Amino acid sequence: MRRRLPRGTRRGAGWRSGPHPCQPEIRAGPAEISIRESRDYPLEVLLAAIGDLVLDITIAPHGELRTNDDTPAAIRVGGGGQAANFCAWAASLGERSRLVTRVGDDDAGRRLVAELEAGGVEVHAVRAAEPTGAIAVLIGPGGERTMATQRGASVGLRRDDLRPEWFVGVDLIHVPAYSLFREPLATAARTAVEMVRLGRGRVSVDLSSVAGLVDYGPARMMSELARIKPDILFATAAEADAMPVAMDFCIAIVSGEGPQRAGEHAVRVAAAAVAKVGARPA
């Protein structure tokens, strides 16, 4: 039976949230993109990601927050980070996955690496003097998520930290836009893409965050995408709207009403674009 490729990541929840929905191939308008189409792939593929492995602290208050007082809440602490989530979900589906990241030389970093490895992910983590990154997620009454981030050690990954053998045999590398927003991680991510391309592997990019895109500059991100030329581009409708041109071939399932075109103008930076709407990407 053919194995399946995970179709993206859902941010704001760590890998303990369960497997991500997936399908054997990613549909993009009239074309179907499969990482197995360009060469003869074995039954098992190797999926990699470069970027964040952080501590997720999720807080779901049991009612309205009380200023200067206690509010009962469900609080969950676990692993997170878009790059780590991608690898964790891939492993949960039985795929080989490999994460290249940077964590603090601290208890949090050691715990997160150990948990990922226990889940079947091959982790190459550079240890750093900075603390391991952390994200606090506050769940609102309607399920909306407000996040406060401390990227910590993850954004300090350098090109010189990378080892060529980490990218040998990689069939697809996933690059969150978080890995492109700040240096030196951005240069390391571009270098990783180049090494995977040399091995005839494919590249996916996730636009990650509207706030991040606005701070980074949408036009600047368009130039970055044109440089990387991802085979697959993931975006929410809001992320697509933040870009200077709409995402064409971006099909979304909205409120169970069926496929809807999410863009009107072509973006010639990716072979396929995938819209993410909650747990039902398309």
DSSP string, 61-95: ESSS--TTS---EEEEEEEE-HHHHHHHHHHHTT-
Whether residue 282 is contained in a domain is answered as no
Q: Is there a contact between 184 and 156 (Cβ–Cβ < 8 Å)?
A: yes
What's the full length of the chain, in residues? 282
Measure Cα distances from 108 to 58, 149, 183 in Å.
16, 15, 23
pLDDT in tens, 63-121: 988 999 999 999 999 999 999 999 999 999 999 999 999 999 999 999 999 999 999 99
**What pLDDT does 28 receive?**
36
- Among 93, 94, 85, smallest CA distance to 115 is for 85
pLDDT band at 142 (very low <50, low <70, confident <90, very high): confident
Whether residue 194 is contained in a domain is answered as yes
Which stretches within the chain are classed as H helix?
82-92, 107-118, 178-181, 185-198, 210-216, 218-228, 237-242
Fill in the DSSP letter of residue 20: P
Query: What is the rounded distance in angstroms from the CA atom of residue 52 to the CA atom of residue 128?
Result: 13
Helical packing angle, 107-118 and 82-92, nearest 10°: 30
Provide the whole-model pTM: 0.76
Q: How many CB atoms lie within 10 A of CB 275?
A: 27
Query: What is the rounded distance in angstroms from the CA atom of residue 50 to the CA atom of residue 14?
Result: 16
Query: What is the rounded distance in angstroms from the CA atom of residue 38 to the CA atom of residue 52?
Result: 29
Which range in 38-47, 97-106, 273-282 is most confidently predicted, on average pLDDT?
97-106
**Range of 89's domain?**
5-53+82-131+154-275
Overall number of domains in the chain: 1
Which CATH number characterizes residue 172's domain?
A: 3.40.1190.20
Model confidence at 23: pLDDT above 90: no
**What pLDDT does 4 receive?**
38
- Residue 68 — φ and ψ, nearest 5°? 60, 30
Q: Residue 78, CB half-sphere, CA atoms under 13 Å: how many?
A: 17
Whether residue 139 is contained in a domain is answered as no
pLDDT band at 282 (very low <50, low <70, confident <90, very high): very low
Whether residue 176 is contained in a domain is answered as yes
Measure Cα distances from 22 to 47, 93, 237 in Å.
14, 9, 19
3-state class of 199 per DSSP?
A: coil
Whether residue 147 is contained in a domain is answered as no
Whether residue 63 is contained in a domain is answered as no
Query: What is the rounded distance in angstroms from the CA atom of residue 166 to the CA atom of residue 151?
Result: 23
Regarding predicted confidence, which is higher, 230 or 15?
A: 230
Whether residue 197 is contained in a domain is answered as yes
Mean pLDDT of the chain: 80
Q: If you average pLDDT over residues 124-134, what whole number do you get?
A: 97
Whether residue 17 is contained in a domain is answered as yes
DSSP string for 250-273: -EEE-TTS-EEE--SS--TT-SEE
Distance of CA 61 to the CA centre of its chain: 27
